[in-house]
Structure 1
Amino acid sequence: MTRADPAAELAVETSGLTKRFGAQTAVDAVDLAVPRGAVFGFLGPNGSGKTTTIRMLLGLLRATSGAAQVLGSPMPQALDAVLPRVGALVEGPAFSPFLTGEQNLRRFDAADRHSSPRTRQARVAAALDRVGLSHAAGKKAHAYSLGMKQRLGLANALLMPRELLVLDEPTNGLDPQGTREVRALIRSFAADGTTVFVSSHLLAEVEQLCTHVGVMSAGRLVAQGTLEGFRRSGGRGRVRVRTPDLPLARGVLADLGVQADAQGAASDLDQVSAAMPDDVEPEAIVRALVAAGVRVRGFEVVGASLEQRFVELTGEGFDVLA
């Protein structure tokens, strides 16, 4: 897959970004290109180097070699100028359990030397409202559900206007309702023009949220680009034909140069499938089948799935939990 258009304005860009811990290379020469305004899904199995990369982007960890730019400025050299424009939720939120949600946010805001005490109350209230926690502002944090804690972490990231949100596994450990809530919030951030960088190993999260993706495997970036381009890079997908005339249908497909799959289980006895070739259009296949007298009861072209592409690139399975 080709990388993003270098002429486009980038929110995040790295060149040869590498991190070694002794003899172990956790991140190996990563070249990221995250367009401004994108919802970028940073994918990979646990342990593939996603969080280490994020920590280097935020200046929490110094790279062994390579360079990183965030919002057009080098990191960590421009840390003080960049971080006030970036909201982050990395490795889960941590709050004082016996302070209320509002008190926790006020405490975090007071620790930010760029924040104004005069507008603190209004900004905390607005952040709580944005994530749907106004009703729980006075509740102690230890009484919050996991989903509420994740939303409180997002509220903390939104106390000041942000151009970039960096979210590391934002739906990790959430129940389906909590997952839907966080997804809805991320969509609303993107609708406001904020660039969102989402690290995840959940396929459903990426498919429902992201406009662009990058795939990590064993510390290396093995692919990146638009979500649609990522799907297309797996080929044109597959064609499936439902018919009682399987032998005849297979013969027609063979004449067109379309190699049908081997016959599957008993449940597939009325269906034949094949990889969709680049030089044959679906309409031509249907015309040929009908002309040959094949009784076509169903015809479908199925695009390559994200899971299929991920396995092809990394050799590992994907967590497909919703």
Structure 2
Amino acid sequence: MSDLAIQTNGLTKRFGAQAAVDGIDLAVPQGAVYGFLGPNGSGKTTTIRMLLGLVRATDGSARVLGSEMPRHLDAVLPRVGALVEGPAFAPFLSGASNLRRFDAADRHAAPTTRGARVAEALDRVGLAHAARKKAGAYSLGMKQRLGLANALLMPRDLLVLDEPTNGLDPQGTREVRSLIRSFAADGTTVFVSSHLLAEVEQLCTHVGVMSAGRLVAQGTLEEFRRSGESRVEVLTPDSGRARAVLARLGLVTDAAGTWDPADAGEDGTVSAVLGDSSPEPDAIVAALVGDGVRVRGFAVRRESLEQRFVELTGEGFDVVG
């Protein structure tokens, strides 16, 4: 049995000459909270629609919960809960009635326990008080919660959530994040599409980054944190000597730094890039001091996740959670 809940190979979707998704190889481990991150229009929703069999791929393959899609659609979908492109409900029916309709459409759902399932799902997303209220009178955030409740009507091995906190106020956003963490704690794999960097940072164990239809990076969140550029900055009046020491240690220093030779004897900053085999910061300081460099300040600057993602995609992300 595969240890991947989702696996794609060269998955591609073209609309005419335009490749909305261009040969991506997803690897989503079972039990992970996988953040599918990218600017709006980068191909995230089209990918999800292919994974769920809503759109047929132009090329490549996809396996969900160990089975090829869409060939084994009937066997896979009962094990998957999904919220894609925002929920759509009958506005003249109550929230509970909408859920009962969706539950009745599931041939795997026992009619005798339908009421209990609906009530439990509404309670879990904080909508028990609005169960009898017409869905047309729900706010956008309440509709989003109702969509989550629909995804939770039956036990799921995989949840696929497209922008799950869209339209929620800060309190609602925190509640949904807590829900997602609880799903993962129960062993459910959660695949979360988002353009919100803060959401992915706070929720996810793994990340895939999309840009213009391509998967430009993938790995654990910790690997992303380590993959950005790190630099050391030395504040010293002895810039030439400091550069010589850093070069001897195998560090690539800035050509000129921020120190102006005309300011000889005054403090300036010399910076250098840290590599995987670079000495530890305390060893760098010891080497500088040992060579007579007057170290007035020393810092290690690590590239933020935001900087890393912008570097990968060439676009900014909404970082407001």
After superposition, the C-alpha distances for 1:101-147 in whole angstroms (9 at most, x for unaligned) are: 21111111112122111010111111112212222222222333322
Name 2:279's counterpart in structure 1: 280
Alignment check: 8 A CA contact 2:2 2:66 kept: no
Match of 1:256 in 2: 246
Is 1:306 paired with 2:302?
Answer: no
Is the 2:204–2:221 Cα contact (8 Å) retained in structure 1? yes
CA distance in 2, matches of 1:102, 1:222: 41
- Contact between 1:57 and 1:68, CA under 8 Å: does it hold in 2? yes
The CA deviation string for residues 52-82 of structure 1, in whole angstroms up to 9 with x for no partner, is 1100000000011111110001111111100
Q: Residue 240 and residue 155 in structure 1: after superposition, are their counterparts in 2 closer, same or farther (change >3 A)?
A: farther
Q: Which amino acid aligns with 1:294?
A: R
Does the Cα contact within 8 Å between 1:249 and 1:289 map onto a contact in 2?
no
Report the CA distance between 1:280 and its aligned residue. Answer: 2.1
Mapped contact 1:89–1:170 kept (Cα < 8 A)? yes
- Residue 163 of structure 2: aligned partner: 169
CA RMSD in angstroms, aligned pairs only:
2.3
User: What is the aligned partner in structure 1 of residue 63 from structure 2?
Assistant: 69
Check if 1:39 corresponds to 2:33.
yes
**Distance verdict in 2 for CA 1:253–1:281, change over 3 Å:** farther
Contact residue 147 and residue 179 of structure 1 kept, 8 A: no
1:247 aligns with 2:237: yes
- CA-CA distance at 1:201 after TM superposition: 1.1
Contact 2:52 2:69 in 1 (8 A): yes
Amino acid at match of 1:320: V
Residue 319 of structure 1 and its aligned partner are, at CA, apart by 1.7
Query: Is structure 2 residue 142 aligned with structure 1 residue 148?
Result: yes
1:238 aligns with 2:231: yes
1:210-255: CA deviation from partner (whole Å, max 9, x where unpaired)? 11111111111111111111222224x23345x5xx3336742542
Q: Which stretch shows the higher mean deviation, 31-40 or 288-297? A: 288-297
Structure showing greater Rg: 2
Distance, in Å, in 2 between the alignment partners of 1:108 and 1:270 is 66
Do the aligned partners of 2:91 and 2:134 also contact (CA within 8 Å) in 1?
yes
Paired with 1:207 and 1:14, the residues of 2 have a C-alpha distance of 24
**Could you give the per-residue CA deviations for residues 158-195 of structure 1, whole angstroms, max 9, x where no partner exists?**
00000000011112233322222221111111111110
CA 1:250–1:162: 2 relative to 1, 3 Å: farther
Match of 2:14 in 1: 20
What amino acid is aligned across from residue 69 of structure 2 in structure 1? Answer: M
User: Identical aligned pairs, as a percentage?
Assistant: 75
Whether contact under 8 Å (2:206, 2:221) holds in the other structure is yes
- Kept in 2, the 8 Å contact 1:8–1:35? The answer is no
Q: Secondary structure at the match of 1:196?
A: strand
Normalising by structure 1, report the TM-score. 0.87
Could you tell me which of 129, 132, 146 is aligned with 1:135? 129
Between the aligned partners of 1:229 and 1:128, the Cα distance in structure 2 is 37
Tell me, in whole angstroms, the C-alpha distance in 2 between the residues paired with 1:308 and 1:156: 36
Q: Which amino acid aligns with 2:294?
A: V
> SS where residue 154 of structure 2 aligns?
coil
Q: Report if the CA contact (8 A) 2:239-2:269 is conserved.
A: no
Kept after mapping to 2: 8 A contact 1:252/1:288: no
Query: 181, 191, 216: which one pairs with 1:222?
Result: 216
Counterpart-to-counterpart distance in 2, 1:196 and 1:225: 15
The CA deviation at 1:293 is 6.2
Residue in structure 2 matching 1:102, options 71, 76, 96: 96
Which residue of structure 1 lines up, in the alignment, with residue 315 of structure 2? 316
Give, in angstroms, the shift of residue 151 of structure 1: 1.5
Q: What one-letter code is carried by the residue in structure 2 that aligns with 1:276?
A: L
Paired residues, number: 307
Structure 2: give runs of 5+ residues left out of the alignment.
260-266
Q: Which moved more, 1:250-259 or 1:207-216?
A: 250-259
Change (3 A) 1:276 1:58: same
Give, in whole Å, the separation in 1 of the partners of 2:243 and 2:184. Answer: 45
- The question of whether the paired residues in 1 share the 8 Å contact of 2:159 and 2:190 is answered with yes
